[in-house]
Amino acid sequence: MHCTGSPQRPTATKRREAGITILVVEDEQFVREVTCEILRHAGYRVVQAECAATATKMFLRQRKRIRLLLCDAVLPDSSGALLSQTLRRLSPELNVIVVSGYPSGGRPEAGDTESANDFLAKPYGAASLVSRVQAGVRKESVREPVQIQAR
């Protein structure tokens, strides 16, 4: 990724989580690329997709390696909730962090769908992203499970 100016690199320290694979699903290319760069810099392997269909195909190929799903709440062909339900049927131990840019610090209204393990509001910084992912791969939830409504 090339940007004008000199972006500062996150100061995340590489820990025992290094080498763990994260599946990042985000339809906005710039957000996806920056998120993946931050996670790679923190030592994670990253598999990326722009929609639920591509994410599902990638997950089927690499599900034994993928430890965490980081996905947008709203995808062009589905939702983060539906995608997480689909992938958890294949791998029930998969941890999920749903990301959303809903205003007012809010998140989608609670629904009757599978819950995410955590929720991360956009815009997020590198430190916040890495901290949530570190907690997620260790199966620690920063918050109580979050119900995400399928749309």
The model's confidence at residue 17, banded by pLDDT at 50, 70 and 90, is low
How far is Cα 5 from Cα 17, in angstroms, rounded to an integer? 31
Single-letter amino acid code for the residue at 141? S
Top-level CATH class of 21-147? alpha beta
The candidate with the shortest Cα–Cα distance to 26, out of 134, 90, 98, 92, is: 98
The model carries a pTM of 0.78
Contact yes or no for 94/68 (Cβ under 8 A): yes
Listed by start position, the domains of the chain span 21-147
The mean pLDDT value for 2-17 works out to 43
Q: What is the pLDDT of residues 21-74, one digit of tens each?
A: 999 999 999 999 999 999 999 999 999 999 999 999 999 999 999 999 999 999
Distances in Å between the Cα of 45 and the Cα atoms of 28, 88, 106 are: 20, 20, 30
Cβ count near 83 (within 10 Å): 29
Q: What is the pLDDT of residue 18?
A: 61
